[in-house]
């Protein structure tokens, strides 16, 4: 039995593997678009929650004028350490913070942005409420979430392969958390419970996830996410075998050479 609390643990070698493999595989295709939406609002101060290793932070640092204050936060200090080590082309304030208990004054930001992070918040309405609290009048919360796992083909293939490898207790991290918060009505309901009176605007965008070999996405998912902990907690096959099984499954579906798969996400904008 997996503990949902472990879904937010990004430690050890995970931050480096996540940034090396998973960021270019699935996060970079969406970062520029989200940063463009933030920049189009002409903010003077922006807060990012669940910044991870900084892929959206770097995109916003490029898209926003130098005078715009950019504060990037994450619950996991090892992820922020990796983000700071990679760096940005202009100064960014890196700060550890819990999105459900933000250490910032009321009405202190024009935009709160979050790329693929809200799925990990244990209290989503609480996190949305905190975002609304720190937004200035006329500000906006801008975020994205992954669509259902079936529309994200590498994640689906890995999850299916691991279910065959561990039939008695399939690792379900990918379906449970990253791809477990895609229902528009549920998201709109949580935003309403958080105090947002305006209706959220949704846009569903499909993109392509590409890698030089089938092993790249297998390593990305099996070793660069909390799925790793679920694999290592199981008896029988170890991490290396699980990664090899997922490599073979991806190669069977997408080819033995360079691989190309669909990814899909919802972009959400709600006025504060």
The whole-model pTM stands at 0.93
Query: Mean pLDDT score of the chain, rounded to an integer?
Result: 94
Q: Residue 36 is part of a domain; what is its CATH number?
A: 3.40.50.150
Segment 207-233, tens digit of pLDDT: 999 999 999 999 999 999 999 999 999
237/132 Cα distance (integer angstroms): 45
Asked whether the beta carbons of 159 and 221 are under 8 A apart, the reply is no
Assess whether pLDDT exceeds 70 at residue 140: yes
pLDDT tens for 43-54 read: 999 999 999 999
In angstroms, the Cα distances linking 60 to 38, 133, 254, 262, 271 are: 8, 22, 33, 25, 19
What pLDDT is recorded for position 1?
Answer: 47
What pLDDT, on the 0 to 100 scale, is given for residue 10? 52
Place of tokens 């189009």: 40
**Cα–Cα distance measured from residue 28 to residue 206, given in angstroms and rounded to the nearest whole number:** 13
Q: Residue 190 belongs to what domain range?
A: 4-271
The domain tally of the chain equals 1
Convert the pLDDT of each residue in 71-112 to its tens digit: 999 999 999 999 999 999 899 999 999 999 999 999 999 999
Is there a contact between 261 and 153 (Cβ–Cβ < 8 Å)?
Answer: yes
pLDDT value at 182 more than 90: yes
What per-residue confidence (pLDDT) applies to 11? Answer: 46
pLDDT of 13? 65
pLDDT of 41 over the 70 cut: yes
DSSP-assigned letters across all residues of 218-250: HHHHHHSSTHHHHHHTSSSS-HHHHHHHHHHHH
Count of C-beta atoms within a 10 Å radius of residue 67: 7
- pLDDT above 90 covers a percentage of the chain that reads 90
Distances (CA, A) of 63 to 36, 86, 101, 217: 7, 18, 28, 28
């Amino acid at each position: 039995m997996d503990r949902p609390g472990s879904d937010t643990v990004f430690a050890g070698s995970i931050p480096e593997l996540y940034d090396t493999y998973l960021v270019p595989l699935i996060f970079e295709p969406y970062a520029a678009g989200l940063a463009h939406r933030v920049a189009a609002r002409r903010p003077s101060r922006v807060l990012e929650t669940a910044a991870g290793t900084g892929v959206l932070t770097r995109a916003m640092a490029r898209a926003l004028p130098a005078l715009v204050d950019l504060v990037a936060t994450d619950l996991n200090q090892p992820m922020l350490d990796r983000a700071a080590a990679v760096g940005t082309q202009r100064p960014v304030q890196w700060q550890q913070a819990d999105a459900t208990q933000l250490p910032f004054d009321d009405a202190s930001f024009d935009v709160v942005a979050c790329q693929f992070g809200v799925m990990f918040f244990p209290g989503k309405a609480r996190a949305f409420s905190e975002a609304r609290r720190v937004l200035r009048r006329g500000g906006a919360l801008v975020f994205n979430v992954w669509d259902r796992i079936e529309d994200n083909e590498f994640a689906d293939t890995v999850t299916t392969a691991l279910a065959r490898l561990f039939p008695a207790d399939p690792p379900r991290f990918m379906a449970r958390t990253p791809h477990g918060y895609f229902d528009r009505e549920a998201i709109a309901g949580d935003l309403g419970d958080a105090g947002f009176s305006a209706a959220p605007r949704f846009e569903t965008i499909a993109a392509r996830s590409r890698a030089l070999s089938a092993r790249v996405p297998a390593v990305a998912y099996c070793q660069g996410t909390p799925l790793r902990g679920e694999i290592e907690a199981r008896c029988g096959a170890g991490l290396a075998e699980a990664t090899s099984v997922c490599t073979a499954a991806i190669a069977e579906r997408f080819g033995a050479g360079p691989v190309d798969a669909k990814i899909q996400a919802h972009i959400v904008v709600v006025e504060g």
